Structure formats: structure tokens, C-alpha cells
Amino acid sequence: MGPSSVWNDAFVVRVRVYRPGDLDACLSIVRGLPEFFTAEAVEAIRDDLGRHGGWVADAGEVVGLAVVERRSVAVAEMLWAAVHRDRRGSGIGTRLIEQVLGALAGEGVVLVEVKTLDGSAGYGPYASTRAFWERRGFVQVDRIDPMPGWQPGSPCALYVAALGTTRSKLG
Ligand SMILES: CC(C)(COP(=O)(O)OP(=O)(O)OC[C@H]1O[C@@H](n2cnc3c(N)ncnc32)[C@H](O)[C@@H]1OP(=O)(O)O)[C@@H](O)C(=O)NCCC(=O)NCCS
């Protein structure tokens, strides 16, 4: 097999809408990332998947998930995103998020927010998370500390991506 037959991991991954039967696989992915998701967060993800549904990256087995809450006709929040720890850094998250953002844009969403741990926390693992969102076009618009509902010492970085313009809606 020559180099041309080497497939990028993301290439064989299909992004599809979450189904209730994906729950255990999704929870297993986030439980496998304890430096990112506390036990409390895992339970919140369970609730949010039940409430909002989401999308999964399916490579024969579920290898990634994204959970989105619609805030209004034009605004959505990316509540959770994760890729199986053994598959991180191979393009799956990019493919997942790009498809989710495309679906949201198609439904008329123009702004998408995501909250993550701010750099001032000095906690290493989230540096790659912030880099990921920034590479996907998210811009940090604020730092919130303390963030209601988050553990003390966990400053929030509020990121926003524009999928369309808001100005054209002005009269
Ligand atoms: C963030 C996450 C969903 C991205 O998915 P992924 O499949 O790893 O991402 P991709 O391979 O598509 O993109 C990797 C990008 O992440 C960043 N990155 C840096 N170090 C990384 C690492 N060790 N592993 C993964 N991504 C890393 C890079 O910016 C890279 O971007 P580039 O290749 O475009 O330059 C995934 O890594 C993950 O589950 N992280 C832990 C949980 C988390 O932080 N979730 C988001 C909470 S807000």
C-alpha cells in the first residue's frame, strides 16, 4: 500500500444525528476524558443529550459527539463536544463541528457560542481545546469569573462564531 492509500481517520467518519441508542457510547467517550469532564459533567451531558439530542461522528462505532442547545431562532450554544481519546487530533472533531455548524446555518442560526475554560486558569489540557475552537473560527468575546454554576477557580472563556450577518436584520 502506497501513501495514497493511507486514509485520514476523518475520511471514513460519517456525521449523523444522535439517536438514543448512542447514549452509552457517548458517555463512555466523555468518561474516558476525565481531565476534561468531571463526573458531574458526565451527568449533565446525559441530561443534555436527552433534552437536546445532538450529532455523533460514526466510524462504525460512535467516536465523537456534539450537543447543541438552541437559544433562539438565530442563536445556538455548543454545549458539549468530545472525540474518543484515542482518535483525538485526527480531524474527526473538525469534521463533526463543520457539519454541525453547516446544519445550524441551514436552519437560520447566525451566532454560535461555546463556553470553555479560560487560559488564566493555567490548566494545560484546555489549551488544545481553545486552539481547536479558534481554528474553527470561534472568537473569544469575554472572560467570566466566577462563572455561575462552575466550580470556583474555573474562569470561563466565552467564544462566539458568526455563521451569518446580524446587521441585515436591522430595519
Ligand atoms: C476538542 C476536540 C473535540 C477536537 O476534536 P479532534 O478530533 O481532536 O480535533 P481535530 O483533530 O479535528 O483538530 C485538532 C485541532 O485541535 C487542536 N489540538 C491541539 N492539540 C491537540 C491534541 N493534543 N489533540 C487534539 N487536538 C489538538 C489543534 O488546534 C488542531 O487544529 P488543527 O489541526 O486544525 O491545527 C477533542 O480533541 C476533544 O474531545 N477534546 C477533549 C474534550 C474537549 O475539550 N471538548 C470541548 C469542550 S469545550
Across the chain, which distance is largest between two alpha carbons, in Å? Answer: 60
Confidence label for 60 from pLDDT (cuts 50, 70 and 90):
very high
Residue 4 scores a pLDDT above 70: no
Confidence label for 2 from pLDDT (cuts 50, 70 and 90):
very low
Residue 145 one-letter amino acid = D
CA-based nearest residue to 109, from 167, 53, 165: 165
Residue whose CA lies nearest to ligand 1 atom number 6: 93
CA-based nearest residue to 28, from 53, 56, 3, 63: 63
The finding on whether 92 has its CB within 6 A of some atom of ligand 1 is: yes
Confidence label for 112 from pLDDT (cuts 50, 70 and 90):
very high
Q: What percent of the chain has pLDDT over 90?
A: 89
The finding on whether 93 has its CB within 6 A of some atom of ligand 1 is: yes
The finding on whether 115 has its CB within 6 A of some atom of ligand 1 is: no
Its pTM stands at 0.92
